[in-house]
Amino acid sequence: MLYLSKKDLLDLLDCNDIISAIERAYDIQDKGNFIMPDRMHIHYDDNTLLYMPCVIESSYATKLVSVFPGNKDKNLPVVDGIVVLNDKHTGVVNAMIDGQVLTAIRTGAVGGTAVKHLAKEDVKVLGVIGCGVQGYYQALFASQVRDFDEVIVYDAYGYNPLFKETFDNLSIAGSPNELVEKADVIITATTSHDPIFDTDKVKGKTFVGIGSFKPNMREYSDAFLKHMDHILVDTPFAKDETGDLKLPLEDGIISESDIQLFSPKFLEGTVFFKSVGMALFDNVVAEKLYLKAVELKKGIELEA
């Protein structure tokens, strides 16, 4: 059994490889060649525990993940966990993988895949609201698929130092509204329970919503949704899991027919892609990194 640590995963990281794995996941989802039960949520206080299994043709993976928003005040990771990757035919555990970094990588790649297929080729300014670990990986992957002249960021609580280390074209917005008005592509990665901007200057832009993953969490307003030409989700149950869609659906602001399942094709107009993630993403990315680790002899061999 191979253990892949945070350092191992970062040593193995190739953004384009991981985006290819996410594209494979969408193809698997489209063809129905997977088994993925609804993920189990355990909520207490503001914290969430998630149990996420998935079986594909070549392997199965189970992610155990914790989301503790209050950890940002304790200088601890908000998202943590472990992924177990098994051989599909024998059940043998092939790998145990750091779930914090795997989640950041695969979610960053989900956002990057959306930007790759939905954003215009000539976009010049990337905006990121929510600049913790996840915001950083969103910016990293988005910058692999488009040549941005500027990366604008905003966070009310502080900035991951990797932003300054990685992006020499970085600037800080004075407010979320300012960022949205200046950027061509906007990615939000917050844990907000209320919409985070209210400007209506959104026409022709591409929005990627990553942060809201509970029915009472929202990053986007009803007024924002009314401006959208296209609303896309990464998985059908997103409309039930995120307050960005569940609440507007209940209030009649949008209808089920307004929401499409993501497919890798460009759409003209103003586009909102909403991701809540799924175990299928974890499985294909875990498998990709495991196979690469075996090839390059990375990781630590553990006795069964």
pLDDT at residue 252, as a whole number: 96
The Cα–Cα gap between 152 and 139 comes to 10
CATH homologous superfamily, domain 116-274: NAD(P)-binding Rossmann-like Domain (3.40.50.720)
The Cα–Cα gap between 289 and 170 comes to 30
Has residue 155 got a pLDDT over 90? Answer: yes
What residue segments make up the domains of the chain, in order of their start?
2-103+279-301, 116-274
279, β-bridge pairs: none
Q: pLDDT of 180-213, one tens digit each? A: 999 999 999 998 999 999 999 999 999 999 998 8
| Terminal C-alpha separation, the chain | 7
DSSP for residue 35? B
Average pLDDT (206-228) is 95
Q: Where are the alpha helices (DSSP H) in 32-175?
A: 99-118, 133-145, 162-166
pLDDT at residue 16, as a whole number: 96
CATH of 2-103+279-301, one of 3.80.10.10, 3.20.20.140, 3.30.1780.10, 3.10.100.10: 3.30.1780.10
Assigned token pair, 10? 């970062």
DSSP 147-207: --SEEEEE-SS---THHHHH-TTEEE-SSHHHHHHH-SEEEE----SS-S------TT-EE
Has residue 304 got a pLDDT over 70? Answer: no
pLDDT at residue 76, as a whole number: 87
Q: pLDDT of 43-99, one tens digit each? A: 889 899 989 999 999 999 999 989 898 888 888 888 889 999 999 889 999 999 999
85, β-bridge pairs: 61, 95
Summary mean pLDDT of the chain: 95
